[in-house]
Structure 1
C-alpha cells in the first residue's frame, strides 16, 4: 500500500471509530472507550506525574507492536510519552482501563517506529495502576 493511501486509511479508521457507540472524544482528536471504571475519587495524573500503567499497543490492522502485560508495568513521567497518551491519561483515574485511539499526529507522526509504519493511528489498551 502506498504511504499516502495508508495515511488516508488510518484517518478514515479513526473517523469511523469516533462514531461508534461508547466511544468518547478527548482533546485534539483523541478518542477512548471505557473498558473498566476506576474510583472517580482516585488521583488523576498531571503532565509531570510519574505514572504506572499496563498497556498493549496495536495498529488498526490489529498487529500488536508493544505490551507490558505479562511483565512489569510501565513506570515513567507522563510528559516523556507521546502526546496522545498525555492527553488521555490526564483524564484517567487510578483503576481506569481504557481503549485509546490516537491519531498519527499525536503518536509518531510520519516517522516509522519498530512495527509501526509512519502515519499510523495507534490503539492502546491502557490501565492506570498508580500516580506518583
Structure 2
C-alpha cells in the first residue's frame, strides 16, 4: 500500500510541475496557474486539492459571481479532466484560488484565497456546501 501511495504522489508531482507552466484563462479574464495538487483522506474519503494562483485575484463579495464561475471552470475543465491520470476517483475535489503562492495549511494574512469543494458524478463537478 505504501508503494501505491508513493507512485500516486510522484505522479501528482510530475503533473503539477508540468501544469505550473500552463496558464489557464478564466471566465473572469484572469490567468491562473496550478500551484500544486495535494491528496488526503479526510473523514469523507479521498480528496484531491487543486491549488491555483492568479496574479491580480482580489476575491471579495463584489466579484462573487466571477469567483464562482472561475472556481467551477477550474473544477470542470481542469481538475476533472486530469482525474484518470492521477489515480483512484476521489470523493471530493477542492479547488482553491489565491492571489499569490502560499504554504498549504499556514495562515498568511497577506494572501487572498478562496476555496470550494465539489463531488464528481458522471464527469461533472457538483458544488458541495462545507
TM-score with structure 2 setting the length: 0.27
Which structure shows the bigger proportion of residues in helix conformation?
2
Higher relative contact order structure (alpha carbons within 8 Å, sequence separation ≥ 6): 1
- The two structures have a TM-score, normalised by structure 1, of 0.27
